[in-house]
Amino acid sequence: MVRAKLFLAVATGAILCAAFAYADGTKNTELRAVDLNQVQRAIPKRIMKARWENGRIIPLTPWIEVGEFAPAGPCDSTGASETLVFSAAPVNANTGNPDSSVQVCAAGSLFWFGPDYHNPYYANDIASLSDTSFNGANVNSLTHFWEWNPNLDNNTDDNSDTQNCVIAIFAVEEFDAECADVHEQSAGEGVILDYGSLSEGFWYSSACLDGLEFALPSTPADDGDPGTELLGGYLVVYGQAFDPESGITLATGAQPMLWHNRLNNPQVGDSTSTQFDDDAPADGDHTSPTECYNYTLNLSSFGCPNPSLLGGAIAFWAEAAGCTPSGGDVDGNGCVDDADLLAILFAFGGSGGAEDVNCDGVVDDADLLEVLFNFGNGC
């Protein structure tokens, strides 16, 4: 069933360039390499914290000018107060800039699907972070890579054309590696970055989110069909404008640049081969299984292991998560109900996590009693 588009608007006149899949769900679109030296740095002009909730983008702050919250780049370039906890991109752990020295193959390159491909909205999983102590930690800084092609809607080769670039990035608790589109109904926080007018080309951005941090997923689970247990996922939307009422107007030509945690040394975090792309057609919706792809690819010609995995190139820095007593509201939706009770029961005997509602380090009868005593609060 095709779900209604709740938050994205397709720009009038945009060409929807579809990618097709083999029977095993892999891409049937030409993969290309691009030199990291061609990737330009984009600095956001303003930023907004927002929430993703059941496919809607809800602003949590007004727009904040970049000079008012933090400089560009990771908040702490010394690594003393924040740690690179998930890196599906070849970046320096201290500066957030591209760094070919961490690449185990195809050094100095990233991948993309060529100038005629359009994918303005993708979702990938976070199977694990660098350490479980960071589960649920706040993202302090991030780096991401993308290709921007405003000319895709008119098929011209004039790269002087520009388009306003607005990119939304969210972390969500739910993602299913077996292609159930649970991420679209999930909830999580993130940021919207407004880069102003950008010309055609390859871009990366490293940004400190000081005061606008958002939480990484906290609880491993199998969130769809039985199969793979994942921590959660992340969503990225490429747009040209954002309006709180109508949502994001999709870019007319954009796609993520591609890399993977396992192609870095050291490897930081992990993800599977599953990625949802909005490319068949680009309509602001992920249709399963048509737009769920297996990014297991043969990159042996680039000196990479065969098979290798790819996915959207992104990296997150975080501080270690501290535990805050939640009063029994395990899922953080403001209501202590049967969902919180079930979460405690399923995690009973475990250590830490959101189910440890009293922060004593273990999920036990004390946490169960906390939920029961507060049952119905906020509902």
H or E stretch including 112? strand 109-112
Tell me: pLDDT of 192 over 90.
yes
Tokens found for residue 328 = 């029994």
The torsion region of residue 67 among left (phi > 0), alpha (psi -120 to 50) and beta comes to: alpha
pLDDT at 68: 59
pLDDT at 15: 28
Tokens found for residue 116 = 């005629």
For residues 164 and 81, what is the distance between their CA atoms, to the nearest angstrom? 34
Q: What is the mean pLDDT of residues 126-146?
A: 93
- CB–CB of 305/127 below 8 Å? no
Q: Can you spell out the DSSP letters for 124-148?
A: EEE-B-SSGGGTTPEEEEEEEEEEE
Identify the three-state secondary structure at position 373.
Answer: helix
Tokens found for residue 96 = 């957030």
Banded pLDDT at 325 (limits 50, 70, 90): confident
Q: What is the mean pLDDT of residues 258-287?
A: 95
pLDDT at 357: 85
Tell me: pLDDT of 235 over 50.
yes
Higher pLDDT, 162 or 227: 162
For residues 27 and 312, what is the distance between their CA atoms, to the nearest angstrom? 14
Identify the three-state secondary structure at position 5.
Answer: coil
Asked which of 72-76, 143-147, 155-159, 324-328 is least confident by mean pLDDT, the reply is 155-159
Kindly give the interhelix angle for 338-347 and 365-373, rounded to the nearest 10 degrees.
180
Q: What is the mean pLDDT of residues 53-70?
A: 83
The mean pLDDT of the chain is 85
pLDDT, tens only, 87-102: 999 999 988 999 999 9
Tell me: pLDDT of 13 over 80.
no
Architecture of domain 324-379: Orthogonal Bundle (1.10)
Kindly state the DSSP code that residue 3 receives in the 8-state scheme: P
Give the whole-number percent of the chain exceeding pLDDT 90.
59
Q: Can you spell out the DSSP letters for 257-301?
A: -EE-GGGBSS--SB--SEEEES-SS-SS---TTTTEEE-EE--GG
Residues of the chain with CATH 1.10.1330.10: 324-379
Banded pLDDT at 226 (limits 50, 70, 90): low
pLDDT, tens only, 15-50: 223 333 333 455 656 899 999 999 999 999 999 999
pLDDT, tens only, 328-368: 998 888 899 999 999 899 888 876 677 888 877 678 898 89
Banded pLDDT at 322 (limits 50, 70, 90): low
Tell me: pLDDT of 120 over 80.
yes
